[in-house]
Structure formats: C-alpha cells, structure tokens
Amino acid sequence: MEGPLPAQELSTLENLERLDLSRNGLTDGLTPKEFHSLSKLSKLKHLDLSWNNFGKQILRVLGAQLPALKSLNLSTNEIEGPLSIKEMANLSNLEVLILRDNLLTGRLPIQDLANLSRLEILDMHGNHFTGSISPYIGALSLAKAISLSDNDFNGDFPSQDLCRLKKLEEFDISGNEFEGILPRCINNMSSLRLFDISDFDAEVEEEEEAELEEAAPPEY
C-alpha cells in the first residue's frame, strides 16, 4: 500500500481500537477533508505507522484528530528537522511515543514532552538530536523506559535529575557524548533493570563503582 494514509476508508471503522499499518509505503499528503475524517476514529488507542515514508505532517494530523491515542509508533520514517511537541499537545493520553530511526535534529524538547503527563515509554534512538538533556529529564515523572541512544547528545550526565525518576526500569543513552560523574543516588533506583551508558566518558565514585560491578548484567 502506497500514498497518503487512507483516512476516509479508515474513518468508517468507528470502533477501531488498534491499527497496524507498518511496513507500507505510506506518505504525507492528506487533503483537508481526509484530515478531518480521521476524527471519527475516536476510540483508537494504539497506532503503529512504523517503516513508512511519513514526514512531519503526520504529527500534526494525529495530534489534532486522535486525542485518545495511548501508543504511537512512528519509527523508521522520514520525519526530519526539529521536533515540536506543540503539534502533539492534544495527545494527553499518550503513554508510549516511539520516534526512533528518523531524521530529527536540534535539541530534544524534554520540558515540552513532560506536558504529555501520562508518558511512560519514550524512544528517540537513532536520530540526530544534539545538546544536553539536563536538567529537564527529571520532569518525565512517570517514565518507565527511556532510550536516547545513538544520537549526538553531549554535555553533563543528567545525574540528580535522573534519580528523580522513581519508576524508571530501562535507561539507554549509549552512543552519545555525555561526560560527568555517576551519582550515588542511582543505587537507590531499585526498579532499574537496564542501564546502558556505553560510549560514555564517566567517572564513578568508588563505593558506587563497587556496587555496579557486583550487579548482574541486564537481560535482553
């Protein structure tokens, strides 16, 4: 299937809760009529549009027309340039946001992402984000999994900010250019199951280093 999202055809499925259109050749290019027809999918909660050819228009479309979404996967598309969360401001129910392997650049607007107050899983792996993620990473208070790996982030490790994420289970910032000191408070993050900071120029306090060496490696 190629071309724009078949919005009018889909709009007849008014009780649809889960939709998977991954691995097609779908693109931007909806007409205003098609754009507004998506609002009939008022019960849609889980949407997978990964491995298509969407650009930035899709974020504006989904943000305006599908406020019930809980899970959105737009990985491996052609979404490029700075990320504007304002286009997704209406997605107040969103719990899972996956934008990995796109062409996004600039700073990651973490402070704006925190306005998606139910967000639990954030995956931005394999883009071209730059700059620091501190001090706002701690604002993602419900986060369970965060992957920012293989970008161009730099600056200090978000030490104390990270330790505010009491529900965090997976944290991956490998393949970036962070530096700094791992804080002792990481020892108190009992829910943490995966902690990947490979390619990270870190210093570890002696007590913490010993505890980290004793910890079992993460299971994949």
Mean pLDDT of 19-33: 94
pLDDT per position as a tens digit, 158-184 = 777 888 999 999 999 999 998 888 888
End-to-end CA gap in the chain:
33
Q: What are phi and psi of 86, to 5 degrees?
A: -60, -30
Question: pLDDT at position 86, please?
Answer: 87
pLDDT at 9 over 60: yes
* Second-level CATH architecture of 2-214: Alpha-Beta Horseshoe (3.80)
Q: Starting from the edge strand earliest in sequence, which strands make up the sheet with 201-204, in order?
A: 80-82, 103-107, 128-131, 152-156, 177-182, 201-204
Q: What are phi and psi of 209, to 5 degrees?
A: -60, -40
pLDDT per position as a tens digit, 101-119 = 999 999 999 989 999 999 9
pLDDT at 213 over 70: no
pLDDT per position as a tens digit, 143-158 = 999 999 999 999 888 7
- Highest mean predicted confidence (pLDDT) among 17-21, 86-90, 161-165, 208-212: 17-21
* Mean pLDDT taken over the chain: 89
Question: pLDDT at position 42, please?
Answer: 95
Tokens 């994949």 sit on residue: 220
pLDDT at 135 over 50: yes
Other Cβ atoms within 10 Å of 17 Cβ, number: 12
Distance CA(60)–CA(28), nearest Å, equals 11
Question: pLDDT at position 203, please?
Answer: 64
Mean pLDDT of 61-74: 95
Question: pLDDT at position 220, please?
Answer: 42
DSSP 97-120: EE--SSEEEEE--HHHHTTSTT--
